């Protein structure tokens, strides 16, 4: 009877936690809807446009901060804030490299977070190594396929090393996301790679611009950030994380 009561209590507690988390996510869904309704990329670059575009990711940063505290600014919350800065920079085409630098720093913070004790897990299984190989093969192959287009760009001396370094950082981030073996985080890391590869292929004229290219890019981008943020929060809420926190306090 005691075991049944515990299971019932645990189920109610998890359901209550999920409901509260959903309520915290309402600002993200609302701001994302506003962005797609106004369709900021079609408007003239302005501080308002930058604010509308970065609002969904900033709302996710506040979500992570509310659950994980200020120290998360050195992890996922900080990565989300830097991503929001990158979103704002990309409103102006001349600030593309500044935006890419912000996202590169965000990937570094994500990577550090995925290496932290909260994501400690058992040794990797063989299927994960297959995913690692596929990820690095696709990322590396895409970069070398991009090289001729980068060399024919207006500033090849800047774009070749910059895109190379960024490709390395996002691939490392996605690899460490896979290493966590947390489903949401894994999917978030891979979706981020898909979003950024789509941007690179279209920006450097590797493929023709699709009719719905911005829909694909922004949907996958916001989805990636959502998965990473919620995955990070859920990692904090797991019983294993609570046990580790208690051990550290002792």
Q: Determine contact, residues 108/82, Cβ cutoff 8 Å.
A: no
Higher pLDDT: 118 or 14? It is 118
6-10, 153-157, 163-167, 240-244: least confidently modelled range: 6-10
Distance CA 154, CA 21 (A): 46
* Residue 247 binned pLDDT confidence (cut-offs 50, 70, 90): very low
Distance CA 60, CA 157 (A): 36
Question: Is the pLDDT at 15 greater than 60, yes or no?
Answer: no
* Residue 60 binned pLDDT confidence (cut-offs 50, 70, 90): very high
* Backbone φ, ψ for residue 120 (5° rounding): -60, 135
Neighbours of 39 (CB within 10 A): 12
Q: Determine contact, residues 55/34, Cβ cutoff 8 Å.
A: yes
* Residue 193 binned pLDDT confidence (cut-offs 50, 70, 90): very high
Could you tell me which of 166, 160, 162 has the C-alpha nearest to residue 144? 160
The stretch 38-48 carries a mean pLDDT of 74
How many CA atoms are closer than 13 Å to the CA of 138, on its beta-carbon side?
Answer: 17
* Alpha-carbon torsion (180, 68, 187, 218), positive or negative: negative
Neighbours of 8 (CB within 10 A): 10
If phi over 0 gives left and psi between -120 and 50 gives alpha, with beta otherwise, what is residue 39? left
Taking the domains of the chain in order of start, what are their residue ranges? Answer: 2-249
What pLDDT is attached to residue 239?
53
Q: Structure pTM?
A: 0.86
Distance CA 195, CA 192 (A): 5
Distance CA 199, CA 107 (A): 17
5-9, 72-76, 161-165: least confidently modelled range: 5-9
SS3 at position 91: coil
Find the radius of gyration of the CA atoms of the chain: 19
Q: Determine contact, residues 51/31, Cβ cutoff 8 Å.
A: no
Buried b (16+ CB within 10 A) or exposed e, 159-174: bbebbeebbbbbbbbb
What pLDDT is attached to residue 105?
98
């Amino acid at each position: 009877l005691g075991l049944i009561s515990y299971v019932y209590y645990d189920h109610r507690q998890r359901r209550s936690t999920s409901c509260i988390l959903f309520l915290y996510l309402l600002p993200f869904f609302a701001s994302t809807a506003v962005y797609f309704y106004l369709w900021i990329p079609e408007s003239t670059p302005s501080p308002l446009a930058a604010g509308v575009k970065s609002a969904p990711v900033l709302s996710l940063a506040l979500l992570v901060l509310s659950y994980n505290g200020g120290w998360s600014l050195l992890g996922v919350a900080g990565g989300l804030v830097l991503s929001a800065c990158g979103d704002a920079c990309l409103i102006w085409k001349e600030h593309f490299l500044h935006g890419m630098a912000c996202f590169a720093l965000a990937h570094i913070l994500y990577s550090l977070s995925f290496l932290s004790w909260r994501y400690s897990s058992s040794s990797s299984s063989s299927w994960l190594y297959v995913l690692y190989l596929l990820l690095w093969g696709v990322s590396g192959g895409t970069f070398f396929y991009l090289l001729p287009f980068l060399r024919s760009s207006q500033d090849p001396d800047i774009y070749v090393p910059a895109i190379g370094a960024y490709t390395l950082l996002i691939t490392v981030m996605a690899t460490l996301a896979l290493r966590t073996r947390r489903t949401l985080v894994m999917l978030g890391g891979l979706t981020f790679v898909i979003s950024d590869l789509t941007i690179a292929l279209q920006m450097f004229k590797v493929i023709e611009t699709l009719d719905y290219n911005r829909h694909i890019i922004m949907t996958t981008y916001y989805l990636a950030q959502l998965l990473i943020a919620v995955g990070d929060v859920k990692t904090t809420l797991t019983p294993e994380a609570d046990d580790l926190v208690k051990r550290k306090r002792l």
